[in-house]
Structure formats: C-alpha cells, structure tokens
A and B are shown apart, each in its own frame.
Chain A
Amino acid sequence: MQYRLDYYLPLVKNVPMKQSYSFLSLLRHGLNKHTTWTPAWRSLPLKDRYDVIVIGAGGHGLATAYYLAKEHGLTNIAVLERGWLGGGNIARNTITIRSNYMRDASIPFYVKSVALYEEMTQELNFNTMHSKRTMVDVIQNYPMMRDRRRRQHIMDIYGSTYKQLSPSQVRERIPALTGGGPDARLPIVGGYVHTDAAVNRHDAVGWGYARAIDALGGEIHQQTPVTQILRGTDGRVAGVETPRGVIRAPKVAVAVSGHTTTLTETVGLRLPLRTMNLTAFVSEPVKPLIDVIVNCPDAGFYLSQSDKGEMVIGGAPDFGQSFRRDIKQHVFEDTVTAMLSLFPSFKKLKLMRQWGGHLDIAHDASPIQDETDVPGLFVTAGWWGGYKAIPAGGLTLAHLVATGQPHPLMAPFTLKRFRHLEYVMETGTTTAR
C-alpha cells in the first residue's frame, strides 16, 4: 500500500486553460451557435532555436513536452511532427491501459502510468473517455496459469490487481466466449482478472496534451520531419535539420518509435533495437456484447469492444523487421482463426479496417530511456505496447531531460543495462516473441 499512496499523490495543480471546457462553456458557446470557440492550440511560426526539441508528436513526445513545461518550467520547447498530430502510433494501437507486468522494474512504472491516465481527464480538462473496464486473461494451459500466478504475487507487492478466476467465472464475465469447451484442443482451464485495466480515446489523449502544451507556452509543429540530427564540434547535440530549415537546441529528445534507429544512425549511434509491425483490425459495430478487455495469450489474440460497438482485435506481429503499416494476410488469418476458436459466433462479423504500427523492440523486450553517447541527445524507445506507458513515459523522460538524472521509475531502463548485461527480460508484453 505504501507504494500505491505515493503514486496517487497528484504532482501539482491542474493546468490553467485559456478556454476551459465544461458544461457551462458548452452551453454558452451553444447559445452563440458555436461561433465563439477558439482553436485548442495555436500554429506559431517556427523559430530557429529552442531550449528543448522533442521529435515526434505521438503520445510519448507530447507527454514529454507537457511534463517539461508543467513540472520543470521549460516552455521554450518545440515538438516536431513529420505527419499530423495524433496520426502516428498513437492512432495505431488497441488503446489498452494496464499494469499486469512481470518484473519488479516494470510494474511500479506501469502502475504509475495507469494512475496518471485515470486522472488525465481532470488534469487536462479534456475528456479522454477513460473506461476502466478490467481485463480478463483467458488461460488454456497450466504452465500459463503458473506464469500468471507468479505475476499475481509480484504485482501484489506493487499494488497492481490480479485475481484468479475459475473457467465458469470466466464464462460468466464473457458470455460470448462459447469456444474452448472440454472437447476443444485447448480447453479453458481458468483465467485472471486485472481490474485496473482500461481503454480510452487515443485522439483525446493526443489533443488533450497538445492543448495543455499550448496553454503552458510550448509549440507543436506538424509537417516538420527531421532528416538529420546535428552535432556540434564539441560532440554535443546541436539541433536538427528539417526541410523547413535548421533548428538549434542544446537538448533533443527522440520519441519516434519505429524510426528511432533511422534517426540515431544519422549521428552514428547504434542501438539494440529492431523495428517490427504490430497489427490490429476492427469489425463492424454491433450492440454491446463484451464489457471487458479479453486477452487470450494461448490462442494468440486479444480484443475489446469500442464505445462505437466495434470489436477491436489484435494478434501477433509480423515475422522479421518491418516498416510497413498494414497487416499481412496470413497474420490476419491466423488471428481470425484463433479468435473463432474461442468466439465461434464472431464468424458472422464483417471486418472493416486494419492497421499496423511499426514499433521498436529492444534486445530484452523492455523500454530504453536514456541520454545517448551523444551528450544532450535523449531517446525513449523500445515501447512494445507503448500506449499504456504514455503519461509515465513522458513524466520520466521530462525528468531525465530537465535534470540529467533518470527518474527513479525508469532507472533500470537505461542503455547501460546492455553494457553490463543486466537485462530486464519482460514477458508481460502481450504478443512479443
């Protein structure tokens, strides 16, 4: 419990917004026929010098800029985005927020992240549609039950919740789960329930952060790809090169997911990362059917029902490295086959959209957040399932960038761990293999 209380303490007061969103403001602007709203964030001219440049206006980049401004008072900052705000991996995931991890190093970090997500709507004055709907792991073999039991014991220490369910309790929670009976090749032998798990609205997270960064004085520049990281004669990072010109800054943070190595190679850095394509797809919207996040590690898929009624379904990544952003036919077929083995009635569902997000995975499947061998150049990478880590990942990277010291929650996840072979082998990622 002592851990938990500490994590839940709010850091500082909520950000004062120029245009607060509330029922009263909706009423007032509604009476003015909605002509009096002002933009949620400004598009300012690009300067040639900042105190900190964050590359990537995805979840981690935006959260980092937000906490740099809010916690450390750094407001002369710019977030550079190659595409558009909220168009990268923040829109290419399955919006699952959870903290059922395996390692002592990982769990406190994700517990903190889940807690920050829970207060995000209040803190940012932006409805993130946070829905704490719990997650049920459907287990189909005994070694996996033992693995989950081990996780439960470790999670208990750090205040995360994990409880065992009997097969009948699993079916009670998920009435649509009709497969996996006693005659199936892999009968359901039990389950685990993680009540902290939630889903929310990914666009709201990106837009909420962008609005808060703007209110605090930071800048976001879309359509500004970084082509080269620049080093000064002293070896320190000097800035970045973009098609809109050279932008100088003494500190640069790289939060670009799958393209981390592509960017760091421009200053001759080598990092233990591979880029992979993790895919998902959604069905047509149907009436409310499943009110929890269902994870089936033995069958090899996970799903949840969105507020719109679509089934959001994810499976395994592609073989090999990939910078593609779509699903391969056989990966798709394998995931559908796995899903139909447990949810045979879903055979009638029509599938509507598919997408892939290219993300990077480190040698030990745990994230990397550190200052690189180029002084002033920071990376946050290896976020296999990084959506759930957005608020805490931003908080810790902002701490590292501002103070030069790793945040205690991220201290085990530096680059030095590879040099000393002190890996944090993480098996809590859903589908890493």
Chain B
Amino acid sequence: MMNIPCPFCGPRNESEFSFGGPLKPDRPDPNATDDEQWVGWLTEVPNPHGPVQEKWWHVKGCGTWFTIWRDTRSHDIVEGPLDAG
C-alpha cells in the first residue's frame, strides 16, 4: 500500500484516496485545433515507464484534490504535492 502525502492531512494510507487519473495536457480550444489533435487529447493519456504526474482525491479524509509524481515501475512517490517543483 502506498503512503500518499496529502497536503492537508499528511501521509495517509492509499485506501483513503480515490485515483483521479494521470494529468493530461490542457484542453485545446476545439475551434482552433484539428481533428487529430482533438482525438489525441480525448483518448491518449501519458503512459510512461517511470514517473507519471497524477491526481488523487482524499475522499475518505479531507476531500482535497492534489497531484503527485509516482513511479509506475515501483509505485514510489517521487514528488509529493508540497515538494519543490
């Protein structure tokens, strides 16, 4: 189980959190983008073999949404929400 650093409650068990998916790029303006880019934004998510930036929701705690960097190979949290960067 991961020990996820909530910015408000501190490190808590993963079972208190709900996963919000990897952070996607900003939504492009549908009128200013072509179909290929738009479909890419809709369907493709970052899938790195290494650190990924993702959203978590402390749903069984304080309810805060925040992002962490997690290594998909080891599930080590390489950067928490309060770390520099």
Could you tell me which A residues sit within 8 Å of B by CB distance? 259, 261-262, 270-275, 319-324, 328-330, 360, 363, 418-419, 421
User: What 18 new A-B contacts, CB under 8 Å, besides A274-B47, A322-B72, A418-B39?
Assistant: A271-B44, A272-B43, A274-B22, A275-B72, A319-B14, A319-B19, A321-B52, A321-B72, A322-B75, A324-B74, A324-B75, A328-B14, A330-B13, A363-B42, A363-B43, A363-B44, A419-B39, A421-B39
Instruction: Say yes or no: A330 contacts B39, CB within 8 Å.
Output: no
State the CA gap A328–B17 with chains docked (Å): 14
* Binary per-residue interface labels of chain B (48-68) against chain A in the complex, 1 for a CB within 8 Å, 0 otherwise: 010010100000000000000
State the CA gap A66–B18 with chains docked (Å): 43
Instruction: Say yes or no: A330 contacts B15, CB within 8 Å.
Output: yes
A271-B44, A418-B39 known; A323-B49 Cβ under 8 A: yes
> What's the least CB distance linking B67 to chain A, in Å?
12
Give the residues in chain A near B18, CB-CB below 8 Å.
Answer: 319
A320-B19, A321-B72, A324-B75 known; A419-B35 Cβ under 8 A: yes
Judge if B26 is at the interface, Cβ distance under 8 Å. Answer: no
Give the residues in chain A near B83, CB-CB below 8 Å.
Answer: none
Give the residues in chain A near B49, CB-CB below 8 Å.
Answer: 259, 262, 275, 323
Instruction: Say yes or no: B1 contacts A261, CB within 8 Å.
Output: no
State the CA gap A418–B43 with chains docked (Å): 7
Q: How many residues of B contact A (CB 8 A)?
A: 26
State the CA gap A261–B48 with chains docked (Å): 8
Judge if B40 is at the interface, Cβ distance under 8 Å. Answer: yes
* Binary per-residue interface labels of chain B (1-38) against chain A in the complex, 1 for a CB within 8 Å, 0 otherwise: 11000000000011100110110000000000001100
Give the residues in chain B near A324, CB-CB below 8 Å.
Answer: 72-75
Partner of A270, one of B14, B40, B74: B40
Give the residues in chain A near B74, CB-CB below 8 Å.
Answer: 324
Give the residues in chain A near B13, CB-CB below 8 Å.
Answer: 330
State the CA gap A110–B54 with chains docked (Å): 34
Instruction: Say yes or no: A273 contacts B1, CB within 8 Å.
Output: no
Prevailing SS type, chain B contact patch: mixed
Partner of B73, one of A274, A323, A360, A421: A323
Q: Report 23 cross-chain contacts, Cβ distance below 8 Å, ordered by A residue.
A: A262-B49, A272-B43, A272-B45, A274-B22, A274-B45, A275-B49, A275-B72, A319-B14, A320-B21, A321-B47, A321-B52, A321-B54, A323-B49, A323-B72, A324-B73, A328-B2, A329-B1, A330-B1, A330-B13, A418-B39, A419-B35, A419-B39, A421-B39
State the CA gap A221–B72 with chains docked (Å): 28
State the CA gap A319–B54 with chains docked (Å): 11
Give the residues in chain B near A329, CB-CB below 8 Å.
Answer: 1
Nearest opposing residue in chain B for A259, CB measure: B49
State the CA gap A45–B42 with chains docked (Å): 45
State the CA gap A324–B18 with chains docked (Å): 19
State the CA gap A272–B35 with chains docked (Å): 15
State the CA gap A324–B39 with chains docked (Å): 29
Give the residues in chain B near A319, CB-CB below 8 Å.
Answer: 14, 18-19
A323-B72, A328-B1 known; A273-B19 Cβ under 8 A: no
Give the residues in chain A near B36, CB-CB below 8 Å.
Answer: 419
Give the residues in chain A near B40, CB-CB below 8 Å.
Answer: 270
State the CA gap A372–B35 with chains docked (Å): 18
Nearest opposing residue in chain B for A260, CB measure: B47
Give the residues in chain A near B47, CB-CB below 8 Å.
Answer: 261, 273-275, 321, 360
State the CA gap A419–B13 with chains docked (Å): 40
Give the residues in chain A near B2, CB-CB below 8 Å.
Answer: 328
State the CA gap A262–B47 with chains docked (Å): 8
Give the residues in chain B near A271, CB-CB below 8 Å.
Answer: 44
The 9 closest A-B pairs by CB, nearest first: A272-B43, A319-B19, A363-B43, A261-B47, A262-B49, A330-B15, A323-B73, A329-B1, A321-B72
Nearest opposing residue in chain A for B15, CB measure: A330
Nearest opposing residue in chain A for B54, CB measure: A320
State the CA gap A329–B14 with chains docked (Å): 10
State the CA gap A259–B50 with chains docked (Å): 12
State the CA gap A105–B82 with chains docked (Å): 47
> What's the least CB distance linking B80 to chain A, in Å?
15
Give the residues in chain B near A261, CB-CB below 8 Å.
Answer: 47
Give the residues in chain A near B43, CB-CB below 8 Å.
Answer: 272, 363, 418
